[in-house]
Structure 1
């Protein structure tokens, strides 16, 4: 908001401020593939948001709620833990681009989880908003490489096509900087439509949003007060005490929270602790022992084991990676 009445002693005439935003944004293996009919990816789930856009050909997408064939320009937005399977159908090759991503800021997760539909047809608001960045990503990630041979079994040919595409992507030498640029472009495109969502994009149901937000605030407060992971995580990940204070059962709070944020309260608490740990490790004036104590762990060994469980590296290795 603008500061319209500056201090008489200050040379500042006006000032605009945006709200503080603390978040972790991660992209996992953005990829583009061109496959032959008969290719498929079996039914599975993962704790990430997933964007998948068809560039050419046809793709059959199956979820627990629906089954449909996607054509060029169609997009799906899958929410965390949503079961799905994909396969190439029709008589010609199918090419698509896929981006898995994770964002832990509560209001952003809540907005993404409130998008009403999984499928967004070509020409729909969300497909139009994300088409430029998805097409750009597909072009950067993989060159158009035809299968080396059309002979052999269909499955073998499809596998060869995928191998050629991934090899081309590696040869492109996509750097971490290009992935970072892609992350910002993706968030810019999402932000443009989510700030002013068109009618029908978001679910009309707001049930549970207030309760879920209060739970998220309480979990953030636990981290701010430097509660230990064991104490905060006791009895269903800290949700037992919080649900009791709010007057609801643990099961109901877990269900409502996951419905709004796409993750359990315990998972959310872990993301907060990990983010805080990484920020503290950036400050080399803080020893790992001090960081462990500030986050409330019993000892540095417990903290190191938990950090490695989250990241596959120890706190000291993570700090060394920072240079």
Structure 2
């Protein structure tokens, strides 16, 4: 009989192996700005889809409106804006600030931020004391310009780890993520960004969306409203407004083309709606090239 010890040893070795799933994470450091603004400066009401914002006052005072609540943001106060939350800012006298956004392909993490609703973090807040050094380190690296990306993203992921650990500890065991609100949000974004230009957004789009996801319209409305404090229809309107402003200030698109791109089959209807949004016509808005629109994040789908 032959000696099978080699086969046995190989089999035993293979049996001791434990295979782990492949995992990938992509973070996009987006729209970071630092500077000083005069009294009278303001940033219009807007939202960011699939990314969160950290807004830090370095000197002076900023008045913030986040999720329908008003805050007075002083030196070293941090504001954390979760995805799809409406917010606006204005100066209470001259002030200096640093703001950054992070887009991350992790719906569970994004859902965690929305559940926590940690908005204003004062210097006395435990989480502020953890995040502030990383924010200032990122600002320093960004100002250097040629700093290695690995150092920048080390601080970005440290911030995410601090947020995730703190919120999970506050929630305790048993809390779970509901990714349906993000699935609904992505489907709404597709209505604006991922369709043929000549296709108008149909009147029954919400019913069709709910059916596509396998839930009732009422259930989709409720979970979306609970997660983001605005209705799916309001979210669609904000996306259309922001995308129209992007197209008007970022290129030479004709007004008719902009109307088609965001789902209007009648250019006059689009113009009337744009006037309601901004107080001016698309043509006048383009000529003004309002500088405050740099805060708008582009509508990009995977």
For normalisation by structure 2, the TM-score amounts to 0.54
User: Is 2:127–2:166's contact at 8 Å kept on the other side of the alignment?
Assistant: no
CA contact (8 A) 2:64 2:87 kept: yes
Q: How has the CA–CA distance of structure 1 residues 29 and 105 changed in structure 2, closer, same or farther, with 3 Å as cutoff?
A: same
Work out whether 1:34 is the aligned partner of 2:2: no
Match for residue 277 of structure 1? Answer: none
Kept in 2, the 8 Å contact 1:212–1:260? The answer is no
In structure 1, the partner of 2:223 is: 256
Q: Per-residue deviation at 1:206?
A: 6.3
Note the alpha carbon deviations across 1:7-57, whole angstroms, 9 max, x for none: 86328978695x643443222121211233333223333323211011222
Q: Secondary structure at the match of 2:116?
A: coil
The 8 Å contact of residues 53 and 96 in structure 1, kept in 2 or not, is answered as yes
The separation in 2 between residues aligned to 1:56 and 1:12, in whole angstroms, is: 61
Provide, for residues 279-308 of structure 1, a one-character-per-residue CA deviation record: whole Å limited to 9, x for no partner: xxxxxxxxxxxxxxxxxxxxxxxxxxxxxx
Residue aligning to 2:55 = 52
Q: Distance in 1 between matches of 2:36 and 2:29?
A: 21
> What is the CA-CA distance between 1:131 and the residue it aligns to?
0.6
- Kept in 1: contact 2:33–2:99 (CA 8 A): yes
Distance 1:198 1:109, change over 3 A: closer
SS at match of 2:156: helix
CA distance change for structure 1 residues 12 and 103 in 2, over 3 Å: closer, same or farther? same
Alignment correspondent of 1:151: none
Q: Note if contact 1:115-1:203 (Cα within 8 Å) is conserved in structure 2.
A: no
Aligned-pair CA distance for 1:204: 11
* Helix, strand or coil at the partner of 1:197: helix
How far 1:242 moved relative to its partner? Answer: 3.5
Alignment match, 2:161 = 191
What's the TM-score once normalised by structure 1's chain length? 0.51
Conserved? CA contact 2:39–2:91, under 8 Å: yes
**Is the Cα–Cα contact under 8 Å of residues 62 and 73 in structure 2 kept in the other structure?**
yes
Q: Once the 2 structures are TM-superposed, how far is the Cα of residue 79 of structure 1 from its aligned partner?
A: 2.0
Runs of 4+ in 1 over 6 A off after TM superposition: 11-16, 203-207, 261-264
Match of 2:77 in 1: 74
CA-to-aligned-CA distance 1:127-162 (integer Å, 9 cap, x gap) = 1221111111222334xxxxxxxxxxxxxxxxxxxx
RMSD value, Cα: 4.5
- The separation in 1 between residues aligned to 2:228 and 2:99, in whole angstroms, is 22
The CA distance in 2 between the partners of 1:59 and 1:258, in whole Å, is: 28
Cα 1:310/1:95, change in 2 over 3 Å: closer
Secondary structure of the residue aligned to 1:38 is coil
Report the Cα distance in structure 2 between the residues aligned to 1:196 and 1:44, rounded to whole angstroms. Answer: 27
Q: Does 1:182 align with 2:152?
A: yes
Q: Is the 8 A contact 2:111 2:179 kept in 1?
A: no
Give the 3-state SS of the residue equivalent to 1:55 in structure 2: strand
Equivalent-residue separation in structure 2 for 1:261 and 1:12 (angstroms): 47
Alpha carbons of 1:262 and 1:190: their partners in 2 closer, same or farther (altered >3 Å)? farther
Deviation at 1:255, TM superposition (A): 4.1
In structure 2, what is the Cα distance between the partners aligned to 1:85 and 1:235? 29
- 1:213-264 Cα deviation digits (max 9, x unpaired): 8x96xx9xxxxxxxxx99xxx9657541433xx5xx1242254157448997
Q: Tell me the equivalent position of 1:95.
A: 96
Unaligned 5+ residue runs, structure 1? Answer: 1-5, 143-171, 220-228, 268-308, 313-323
2:76 aligns to what SS in structure 1?
Answer: coil
